[in-house]
Structure 1
Amino acid sequence: MTDTRPNILFILPDQLRWDFVGAYGKTYARTPHIDALAARGMVFERCLSPSPVCIPARASMLTGHNSISTGVLNNNFWLRPDHDACGVPSFAKLLADTGYHTQAIGKMHFIPWDITEGFHTRVIAEDKRHIHIRDDYHDYLKAHGLKKYAGSEEPGYVEGRMASISLVPLEHQVDTWVGDRSVDFLKSYSGEQPFLLWTAFPGPHDPYNPPAEILAKISQDMPDALAPTAATVPFREAMVKTHAQGSAAIDITDFTETMKRRVRRHYQGLIAMIDAQVGAIAAALEARDDGRHTLIVFASDHGDFLGDFDFLGKVLFFESAMRVPMIVAGAGTPQGRSDALVSLTDVFATFTEAAGVPCTRQDSIPLPGIGFGDAARTNVMGATDKGYMVADARWKLSRYRNGVCALHDVLTDPGEQTNRWDDPSVRDTRERLDRQLQTWVIASIMDGHKDKTYPYMTMTPDHPGHLRGWQRTYPANAWDDDVTQGLT
């Protein structure tokens, strides 16, 4: 074996919040296989998804660029088709170009849904809400006389606020299917190249629809939801409207504590199915005998309110929506728990560092303490179409387009019940974070427009731009040539 670089296995459930993973210490969370992975690796206590909504989170994670730089700020945006030419490649392309076999299985949420984004092979299941997509999972179901169901077709969907019972048998569930295909790959891959396998589970994203036999095993003991606050109430009307008029098609105007506990129990049922598949994948990986170590990263794109503040879903900059698990194991990763503040986008730098691929990292650094250096973040900053946010180890400051401003002390107030924005005793903290945020926003806007740059002409007499008919290069790739680090 001439190429001794590690395999990389990236496991990413969709919409899994940190406190429903047992390794983070909550007694109601039952994830024995994920916990076993955590026990032999590094658990990052606080990982934030800086743009906590599906497509923006994935665009930033894929490229190492924040959402202002990519321009992907909500689920109706995606990366430029020529983003490689702009010097903004995906980690999959970077690894593929340097000798990795790159394989993606499950829900990537790329637009269009069947593009490769640097993967040699994709096996696609864009499921849950995406019932009309004719992907590989659709073909599989059709071959077995089954189909994808809209949430409204499932028992209990409306009265359960999307907490329903799936009509698809357990052995044909989408997360089972994704896990099975991942196991098949690990058993069959015999290439000389190291591999990057991204296993992307569509669950536990809503609808919260485990099969009946899975739900029967889930305890009724679920944690209470967080109460609404003065900082969350202004978003309530829009949240209700979005769920009523969007693809969810449910009314959460009346959202009782009983309903919230039902949602959480069903959500835990979906997680139980994913956990079983993580166990099967880990066993298949352990059984491989290719003489190569494998770096395993387990994370999620964002969380889910699950009734906190009378909300469902994500988007806003509260811990329920943006705090996710981050667990790393294998390939010499030390065992332990890290208090370092990390970002979901740091997987980009971690993967490229593990693969020995030099590249520009606009807003991504390797996860610290796992063999790629100990450089740590002092803060995480993020953006969606709803606003901007900066967080450090203790404080989180958010500014929203509807005028809401929030400052929370997440150490003493982990439920973010008290908005300290107008508290004179923390004015210096607010102003410090606000200055950092504004500086970051301006720098990120500039980074996002580097495709429009051209070589400076005024002081260069022989520049061809002084002649008629000169054509500038567009898009420009300023990242490879003269920028070693973004946010400058």
Structure 2
Amino acid sequence: MNQDRPNVVVIVADTFRRDHLGAYGNGSIRTPHLDAFAQQSVVFDNHVISSFPTMPARADILTGTFSYTHMGWEPLPRHLATLPQVLSRAGYTTMGIVDTPFFVRNGFGYDRGFDDFIWVRGQGDDTRPEERSDMRSTWRSEEDRMVARTMTEAERWLERHHDENFFLYVDTWDPHEPWDAPDYYTAQYRENYTGESINYPCYGKWEDAGLTEDDVNLSHAGYCGEVTMVDFWIGRLLAKLDALGLRENTLVFFTSDHGFYFGEHCYFGKAEWVHEPEASVTEDSSVPEWLTESWLLTVQRSPLYKELTNIPLMVRGPGLEPGRRAAMTTAPDIAPTILELAGLAGLPGTMSGESFQEVLAGTEEEHREFVVSSWPLYLAEGEITTAVDSKPRRIADYMPITVTTPERAVILGGPDDEPELYDLTGDPGQGRNVWGERSGEGEALCERAISFLEDVGTPEAYLAPRRKALEAWGTPKRKSA
């Protein structure tokens, strides 16, 4: 083993809200192992998502690109270099262990570059309920849960390969729904709990779906229980690193892909979604090929507020002084940072993220002025029809982007959608849109974001609707009104 190069472990827990960790100020949800890890780590207070949701976010991490600018929910493009591929060529043993169900299904190829790869099957997804129910029928104890099986696989792999230079990527879909941790976890967050559950969100406005506030609170208790369970099993994996004597020469990253709404902004879920696998596109529609085969086809206009965009990032490693960082970072920056910390000079030409190694070292205080968070950008025209209610629905072709600074957040959609601007210092919950009062400030931030998108190669066709939105809602129109 090359003692001059650190081992690298990346742990991703899906749908893990930053504000549900004790290390980020939550005093009621129990996350003792990740809180202890935070005490040993550099903790980033302004780590914000780029691509949304699940697989676009993984593409960001694995390729160091802003995937929302060039791809959708689709197979990983072959021309993109991947982090495990670069590390493998440099002599690292690279391993991926995941239970998130989309990495290799349907030829997606997110295992590319790993020397070996284990898909811990059983999570299923909303298109394969039979897989999900079949696995759950075998559960007898906590050790049968998916996060437990995934972290145990990672422990076993470490036992076999701890004396090599390795890159280990571990990805669990928990605490994503369904929220079905053992009852003793959920009971910690619901008084007089007797086993009742609502394991799935309505993916829309909870009141419109006929749910009560107590229904949402019950689901949130289930989610919090899963958060605590995930914390326990990640703690097991971290303890295994210590047992194998790996702490002093191993970089460990912990992060997530996005958060979730539990009633905030009236949403319960992460999008306005009509769950209809048999939805069809009308004949006169024009849509990207990948969209017709994706669940994103039936997602309606869904803005990204902070409950979705703010996620944890903690990094522990040799030579890193524990502490907190206010610098803004995002997922495409992770791969370039790891490559620099591993001493591999020169990024692959396809990577557009930027290393935050100097922020980790404490020699720089700032990294990015802002972060753009977005669904995959695409152009589409037409309608879909669903068997749910036979109601035609316009394809949402102008999904809003969110631009975040430490003090502001602006949401910009298409020409028909009034932008939203929030002062995060005085309104951290994003409850009062001040675009009408400060449109000039919002415009300036949007224009900087569009310039950034140009710089990373976003096709002009995707930017044109944003420019038209600024023309329609910007200062000149208001002055002439």
Give TM-score, length-normalised by structure 2: 0.74
Q: Give the Å deviation of 1:427.
A: 3.2
In 2, Cα distance between equivalents of 1:264 and 1:45 = 23
1:408 and 2:400 correspond: no
Q: Secondary structure of the equivalent of 2:455?
A: helix
Is contact 1:4-1:292 (8 Å) kept? Answer: no
Give deviations 1:319-371, integer Å, cap 9, x for gaps: 00111011111222211111111112221122111122221431333255323
2:161 maps to 189
Q: How does 1:6-155 map to 2 (within 5 A)?
A: 6-72=6-72, 76-80=73-77, 82-83=78-79, 88-107=80-99, 109-111=102-104, 112=107, 116-125=111-120, 127-130=122-125, 147-149=134-136
Give TM-score, length-normalised by structure 1: 0.73
Is contact 2:61-2:334 (8 Å) kept? Answer: yes
Q: How does 1:238-317 map to 2 (within 5 A)?
A: 253-289=209-245, 293-314=249-270, 316-317=303-304
CA separation of 1:41 and 1:189: change in aligned 2, threshold 3 A: same
In 2, Cα distance between equivalents of 1:115 and 1:389 = 26
User: How many pairs are equivalent?
Assistant: 392
Of residues 368, 383, 387, the one that matches 1:377 is 368
In 1, Cα distance between equivalents of 2:75 and 2:420 = 28
In 2, Cα distance between equivalents of 1:384 and 1:9 = 27
Give deviations 1:191-225, integer Å, cap 9, x for gaps: 43x1111111110001122122332344549xxxx
CA separation of 1:125 and 1:341: change in aligned 2, threshold 3 A: same
Q: Give the Å deviation of 1:44.
A: 0.9
In the alignment, structure 1 segments of 5+ residues that lack a partner are 154-165, 222-238, 245-249, 450-488
Of residues 192, 201, 215, the one that matches 2:186 is 215
More displaced 10-residue stretch of structure 1: 104-113 or 252-261: 104-113
Q: How does 1:416-427 map to 2 (within 5 A)?
A: 416-423=430-437, 426-427=438-439
2:289 maps to none
In 1, Cα distance between equivalents of 2:49 and 2:457 = 19
1:176 maps to 148
More displaced 10-residue stretch of structure 1: 404-413 or 174-183: 404-413
For 1:280, give the aligned amino acid.
Answer: R
In 2, Cα distance between equivalents of 1:198 and 1:133 = 25
Q: How does 1:306-385 map to 2 (within 5 A)?
A: 306-314=262-270, 316-357=303-344, 358-359=346-347, 360=349, 361-366=351-356, 368-371=358-361, 374=364, 376-385=367-376
Q: Secondary structure of the equivalent of 2:361?
A: coil
Q: Secondary structure of the equivalent of 1:312?
A: strand
In 2, Cα distance between equivalents of 1:446 and 1:167 = 46
Q: Give the Å deviation of 1:445.
A: 3.9
For 1:377, give the aligned amino acid.
Answer: R
Is contact 2:204-2:269 (8 Å) kept? Answer: no
CA separation of 1:115 and 1:382: change in aligned 2, threshold 3 A: closer
In 2, Cα distance between equivalents of 1:343 and 1:115 = 20
CA separation of 1:188 and 1:365: change in aligned 2, threshold 3 A: same
Q: Give the Å deviation of 1:280.
A: 0.9
CA separation of 1:302 and 1:291: change in aligned 2, threshold 3 A: closer
Q: Secondary structure of the equivalent of 2:374?
A: strand
For 1:326, give the aligned amino acid.
Answer: L
In 2, Cα distance between equivalents of 1:446 and 1:113 = 22
In 2, Cα distance between equivalents of 1:290 and 1:305 = 37
In 1, Cα distance between equivalents of 2:10 and 2:222 = 25
In 2, Cα distance between equivalents of 1:132 and 1:254 = 24
Give deviations 1:228-256, integer Å, cap 9, x for gaps: xxxxxxxxxxx96x669xxxxx9961232
Give deviations 1:81-134, integer Å, cap 9, x for gaps: x22xxxx21111111111111111123532536652211111113553438879
In 2, Cα distance between equivalents of 1:17 and 1:261 = 16
CA separation of 1:428 and 1:115: change in aligned 2, threshold 3 A: closer
Is contact 2:408-2:422 (8 Å) kept? Answer: yes
1:247 maps to none
In 1, Cα distance between equivalents of 2:58 and 2:268 = 20
In 2, Cα distance between equivalents of 1:181 and 1:323 = 29
